[in-house]
Amino acid sequence: MLRTAIVLAFLAPYAVVACPVALLLSMATRSARPLYRLTEWGFRVAFRIAGIRITAENLERLGDGRNVLIVSNHTSHLDAPALFLALRIHFVALAKREVFDIPLFSTVLLRAGFIPIQRGERSEAVGAVARMTAALRAGASVLVFPEGTRSRTGALGPFKKGGFMAAVGAGSRVVPVALHGTLALMPRHGYGLRPGHVRVSVLDPVDAAGYSEKDRDLAARVRSQIDRALTGAGGDPEGERSVA
């Protein structure tokens, strides 16, 4: 718990200072880059304080990151920041609408292009798919956790189709990612951090242009890749490198 307290003691004041600075720099440069740069620095320091090491495999499979849907398994609150540090691309993602009630932080998320969504609302889901499609067509990288919630056991759950519909509509490359280790370091019903190793495996991309929006084969193919990587402890040691 002491380690967690130290991380929080760093992140809380850092966010208070970094959010307005990032927003001012973003407005001055007319770019979201300062938002990501300052976020990256904060996460990197926090992970080091927590004693969490991140390695990534086969990053070249991401390509240039434009019009890419990144699809990952989801077990912990650590997942998104770990992927942010490992993949090193400025992705946007869906975020629960409650998060957008936090002053300043919500402004940062909106300026970066993050998409609010209310769980259980069909109209919200339809709107989110449309905004993801538009973001992809504009050249963004979009991260989705298609299970919709964190796994309790680490086993991969069924996939929702929204992100895949957006990828088909935008003719995107879909890049599956297997995230290993975050459940043990920060379980679903806990906020205590444990030191350890997170491994991010980038798997074979799939071209969504060859599928239709009603076709479930795209989601099945991507899910199969991630499941095999998780259950078989996948990965390519020769392609692995430390990133944080």
CA torsion sign for 157, 96, 65, 213 is: positive
pLDDT for 237 beyond 60: no
Considering the chain, what is the average pLDDT of its residues? 91
Q: Residue 99 CB: number of other CB atoms within 10 A?
A: 12
Q: Where residue 191 falls among pLDDT bands split at 50, 70, 90?
A: confident
Q: Is 88 helix (H, G, I), strand (E, B) or coil?
A: coil
pLDDT in tens, 208-226: 988 987 778 999 999 999 9
pLDDT at residue 234 in the model = 46
* Domain residue limits, the chain: 53-242
pLDDT in tens, 63-122: 999 999 999 999 999 999 999 999 999 999 988 888 888 888 889 999 999 988 877 677
Q: Is 215 helix (H, G, I), strand (E, B) or coil?
A: coil
Q: How many CA atoms lie within 13 A of 207 on its CB side?
A: 2
Phi and psi torsions of 192, nearest 5°: -75, 135
What is the separation of C-alpha 111 from the centre of its chain, rounded to a whole number of angstroms?
17
One-letter-per-residue 3-state SS of 48-59 = HHHCEEEEEECH
What is the separation of C-alpha 182 from the centre of its chain, rounded to a whole number of angstroms?
13
pLDDT for 235 beyond 50: no
pTM value?
A: 0.92
CATH class of 53-242: alpha beta
pLDDT in tens, 119-166: 767 777 788 899 999 999 999 999 999 998 899 889 999 999 999 999
